[in-house]
Structure 1
C-alpha cells in the first residue's frame, strides 16, 4: 500500500491583493491537479484593520497579526510571503531558519545584499524556497520556452519586452506603498519590469550581461489614499505625498550569448491595462506573446514557403500544452488567476522532489535582482552601459 505524503499546512503572510490571489491558488490547485497530498490552509497573517474580515471571507480558519509567531509554529509547513518588498528578506530568513518551505513574491528583495542573504539561507535550509514569478506559468510562455530550448528559433538575436499598465496614468490617483522606495525598493522597475527581465532570461536561457537604462518619474506627488482596492484605491483630501520611485523605465540590454534586448515598463501607458508582451527573434523563426491575449502564441517559421509566410496564431488550450490539460475543453481559455494555481502546483511538486518544478529558485530570482541594480546604476549615471555583476558561484540562467 502506498502511503500518501503528509499534508502541507499553509500560512499566507499578507492579506492584500496578492494574499487573496495566493489564497485562491492554494484552494484551487488540489481540486484540478493530482498533488499527492492534502493542502491545509491554516492561517492568514496581515496588518490591515479589515484583515480578520478578509480571513473570514476567504475561509481561513485563523487570522493573525504577528508573522514572527506564525513562522515558528509547529503546525505550519509552508510560509507564503505576499507582503511589500521591504519585509521579504526578514520573513523568508526567519521561515527558512524554522525549517519551513518558502514561496516569496517577486521581486525577491529590495536590494542585492538582501537577496544574497536569502540565497545563502536557502542553500543550507531543509525547505524548498521559490520566488513567485508567476508569468512563467502561462501555458503560451512555457510552450515558447520549450520551442526555443529545442532550437526551433535557431540563433537568438533579439528579445524585446514591454510591460504596459495605466492604473497610475491619472495624476490624482492615490499614493500607495508601491510608490514609496523604502517599502517597494523601486517603482515600475521592480513591480512589473522585474517580470519582463525574468521572462526574457528564462525564455531564452541566457543572462543579461549589461544594460543601458533611463528611469523617469512623471508624477512627483500624489494624494493620500483613504480606501484601498486591489493595487489602487480611493484618494482623499490632505497634503500630497512624494513619489520616491520611478513611473517608467526603458532599457537596452546585451545578453551574455550575444542577443540584443529592449525592455520597457510603465504604469502610465493610457489604455493599456496589463499588456505584458515579449517577442523573440531568431535566425529560423520568431515567437510573440501578449498577456492581454494570454491564450494565444504567435509563431513564425522562416522556412515556410514564400507564399505562405507569416505569423500563425496558436490557441494554447489543447491538452498537449503546458498546464492546459488539467482545466477545460480545448478553446475554453484560462485567466490571470490560473498562473498562481500553476505556481502552487509546481511548488508542491518541488517539495515532493520534482527538480524540474523547482524554479525559479532564490538564486535565479537574485539574478533578476542584479539586473534591477544595474538598471538603477545605469540610469543614475546617465544611461551608460553598465555590467550586471554576478557572484562568483553563479551559473548561467536556467
Structure 2
C-alpha cells in the first residue's frame, strides 16, 4: 500500500510511526498548507514527496490510500475529493463536524466501494475487544445499565504542554477553529467505547455541555475559547440499556483515563484503558452472589492502522467504518441540541444506517 499522510500536525507523527511499522506499507508523501511544518515532518519520517495542496497531491496521484489527519472541520472537504479520485481513506475522528457531512462521506465511500475507516483508537484496547466478545456471548446476560467516563486534566496540569500557549491545544478550545469541544474530541471515544462493548446503537440522549472561563474575555490571541470543556449525558441504547456518560478536561488527577462499567441480568463487566492491553474484570457465575470481581487475562489485538492496511490489501472493509462514525456523529449533534434545549433528544433509528 502506497500511503500519503494529509495534515502533518502532532497526531500525524503517530500515523507515520504506526504505519511505518507495517510490512508492505510505504509512506510516499505528505500534504500540508504549512510548508515549514510539512518539511519538518517529512524530513523526520524520511518521506520523499511533499505537497502544499491536496490538489497537487491528487494531480500526482501515485498512491493508493490516505491517512487524513487534518483538523476536524477539514475532514469533509479533504476526504470527498480523495474518494472521488478512488483513494482509500483512514480518517481521524470525529469523521466530520456534523451528521450531514459525515453521512455524505460514508455514502460516497460505500458507493465507490472504497476501504473507509475511522481512527477511534480505543478500539485497539484488548480489554474492550474481549468485553465486546463476552457480552455478545451472553456472559452477563441482558444489559440493563452502564456508566462510562473519559477523564483528562490538561487544563489543570502541563504534563502534555501549556494549553494556553500552544496551538495544538488552543484550537481544541475554539469552535471557530473547528473544535467540537470535549464532546467531539474525547466524548466520541467514550461513546464508541461503551456502545461497542454493549453491541447496540444509541436510541436517545440528554446532555449538558459546560464551557468554563479560562482567560480574560475567554480569548487568547486569535482563539476564542468557546468550545465545551466538560459534559454529562444520560443515554439509552436501542437494546434498552440506560446509562450515564461524562467527560472533562478538568479532571485533576487523571491524565487520560477511560472507565466503563456494564451491568446485566447475569453479571457485570469493568473495563479501563490502563496499561498496554487495558484491564478487564468480570463478576458472573459463582462470583455473582458474592459480588466479587475476577480479572480476565488478555492478549494483544491488531491496532486500527494494521486493520486498515489489511483491509486495503484484502479489499474487505474493516471496522470502525465511516458509517459507524457517521451514526456516532448524529449522537453528538443531538447531544448539542439537547444541551441547548435542556431536554432529551430521540435518535431516529431509521437514519442509523447499517455499519457495513
CA distance in 1, matches of 2:89, 2:261: 32
Structure 1 gap segments, 5+ residues each: 1-7, 31-37, 226-237, 324-341
TM-score normalised by length of structure 2: 0.90
CA distance in 1, matches of 2:221, 2:93: 31
Query: CA 1:17–1:205 in structure 2 vs 1: closer, same or farther (change >3 Å)?
Result: same
Match of 2:60, SS state, is coil
Does the Cα contact within 8 Å between 1:161 and 1:278 map onto a contact in 2? yes
Match of 1:176, SS state, is helix
Query: Residue 43 of structure 1 corresponds to which residue in structure 2?
Result: 29
Does the Cα contact within 8 Å between 2:123 and 2:193 map onto a contact in 1? yes
How many residues end up aligned between the 2 structures? 348
Query: Residue 333 of structure 2 corresponds to which residue in structure 1?
Result: 373
CA distance in 1, matches of 2:289, 2:331: 42
Does the Cα contact within 8 Å between 1:156 and 1:280 map onto a contact in 2? yes
Query: CA 1:389–1:168 in structure 2 vs 1: closer, same or farther (change >3 Å)?
Result: farther
Query: Residue 94 of structure 2 corresponds to which residue in structure 1?
Result: 107
Across the aligned residues of Structure 1 and Structure 2, the Cα RMSD in angstroms comes to: 2.5
Query: CA 1:51–1:301 in structure 2 vs 1: closer, same or farther (change >3 Å)?
Result: same
Match of 1:57 among 30, 34, 44: 44
Match of 1:275, SS state, is strand
CA distance in 2, matches of 1:114, 1:283: 39
Match of 2:226, SS state, is coil
Shift of 1:222: 7.1
Shift of 1:73: 3.1
CA distance in 2, matches of 1:154, 1:354: 35
Does the Cα contact within 8 Å between 1:367 and 1:390 map onto a contact in 2? no
Does the Cα contact within 8 Å between 2:126 and 2:277 map onto a contact in 1? yes
Query: Residue 192 of structure 2 corresponds to which residue in structure 1?
Result: 198
CA distance in 1, matches of 2:203, 2:81: 32
Does the Cα contact within 8 Å between 2:6 and 2:70 map onto a contact in 1? yes
Shift of 1:254: 1.0
CA distance in 1, matches of 2:176, 2:42: 28
Residues 1:353 and 2:314 aligned together: yes
Query: Residue 344 of structure 2 corresponds to which residue in structure 1?
Result: 385
CA distance in 1, matches of 2:243, 2:144: 9
CA distance in 2, matches of 1:209, 1:299: 27
CA distance in 2, matches of 1:67, 1:24: 22
Structure 2 gap segments, 5+ residues each: none
Shift of 1:306: 7.0
Does the Cα contact within 8 Å between 2:182 and 2:231 map onto a contact in 1? yes
